[in-house]
C-alpha cells in the first residue's frame, strides 16, 4: 500500500469531520442571530437541533440557556445554564465567567418574578435597579419594569415601558412574544 492510499482515506475522513463542524457552526451562528433579533422560538428550535448533535458543548448550552432566558423561560434557563456551568472545564475561563454572569442575571429575574407574584413590587423594582444596565436584557428589563409599575399602580409608567417594546418590534417579520404581550397590555389599559 502506497502513502497515497493511506492518506486518501484519512483526508476524506478529516474533510467529512470538518464539514460536519462547519455545518454545526453555521447552525450556531444562525441560532445566535435569531436570538439577537428577538426570534426566540426559531433560535430555541435551532439550538435544540444543535444540542442533539453536540450535547456536551458548554458554549452551545450557554447560548441555548440565554435564549431561554430571553424567551422568559426562567426556570428552564436556570437549569440549562447550571448544566453549562457543570460541563465547562477550567480551561475556558472566559466562558465560565460568561455562564456565571448569565446565571446571575437569570436568577435575578427569577427573584423579580417571585417578588411580583408575592405582591412585593418594591422589592422587584429594587432588584431591577440593581442589575447592570449594560447587560443585554433590554426586552426583559422593559417587560418587568412595566409589570412592576403596573403592580405599583403607576399605569402611565407601565404604559411607557410597554410602548417601548411595541416601538422596538413594530417592524419585525416574526412573532415576538414581548411585542404580543405589550400589545395585549396596552389594549387592556
Domain boundaries, the chain: 14-188
Per-residue confidence (pLDDT) for residue 22, from 0 to 100: 81
**Between 130 and 90, whose confidence is greater?**
130
- Decide if pLDDT at 131 tops 50: yes
**Between 112 and 176, whose confidence is greater?**
112
- Decide if pLDDT at 95 tops 70: yes
Which of 158, 6, 15, 137 lies closest to 77, judged by CA?
137
- Decide if pLDDT at 74 tops 90: yes
Give the integer Cα–Cα distance in Å for 117 and 95: 33
C-alpha distances in angstroms, 177 versus 27, 38, 70, 141?
23, 9, 10, 14
Per-residue confidence (pLDDT) for residue 142, from 0 to 100: 92
Q: Which residue has the cell 465567567?
A: 97
75: cell is 426556570
Which of 138, 135, 134, 114 lies closest to 124, judged by CA?
114
The CATH superfamily label for domain 14-188 reads: Tetratricopeptide repeat domain (1.25.40.10)
Residues 6+ apart with CB under 8 A from 152: 121, 122, 125
**Between 81 and 8, whose confidence is greater?**
81
Q: What percent of the chain is predicted at pLDDT more than 90? A: 67
Q: How many CA atoms lie within 13 A of 75 on its CB side?
A: 2
Is residue 189 within a helix (H) or strand (E), and if so which, with residue range?
A: none
CA 153 to the chain's CA centroid: 30
Which of 145, 168, 172, 167 lies closest to 158, judged by CA?
145
Per-residue confidence (pLDDT) for residue 6, from 0 to 100: 47
Amino acid at each position: 500500500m502506497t502513502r497515497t492510499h493511506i492518506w486518501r482515506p484519512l483526508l476524506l475522513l478529516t474533510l467529512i469531520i470538518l464539514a460536519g463542524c462547519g455545518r454545526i457552526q453555521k447552525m450556531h451562528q444562525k441560532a445566535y442571530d435569531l436570538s439577537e433579533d428577538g426570534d426566540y422560538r426559531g433560535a430555541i428550535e435551532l439550538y435544540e437541533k444543535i444540542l442533539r448533535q453536540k450535547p456536551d458543548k458548554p458554549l452551545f448550552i450557554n447560548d441555548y440557556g440565554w435564549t431561554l432566558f430571553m424567551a422568559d423561560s426562567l426556570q428552564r434557563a436556570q437549569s440549562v445554564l447550571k448544566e453549562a456551568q457543570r460541563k465547562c472545564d477550567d480551561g475556558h475561563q472566559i466562558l465560565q465567567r460568561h455562564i456565571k454572569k448569565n446565571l446571575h442575571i437569570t436568577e435575578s429575574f427569577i427573584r423579580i418574578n417571585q417578588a411580583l407574584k408575592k405582591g412585593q413590587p418594591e422589592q422587584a423594582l429594587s432588584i431591577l435597579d440593581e442589575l447592570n444596565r449594560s447587560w443585554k436584557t433590554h426586552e426583559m428589563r422593559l417587560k418587568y419594569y412595566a409589570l412592576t409599575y403596573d403592580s405599583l399602580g403607576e399605569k402611565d409608567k407601565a404604559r411607557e415601558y410597554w410602548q417601548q417594546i411595541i416601538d422596538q418590534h413594530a417592524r419585525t417579520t416574526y412573532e415576538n412574544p414581548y411585542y404580543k404581550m405589550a400589545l395585549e397590555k396596552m389594549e387592556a389599559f
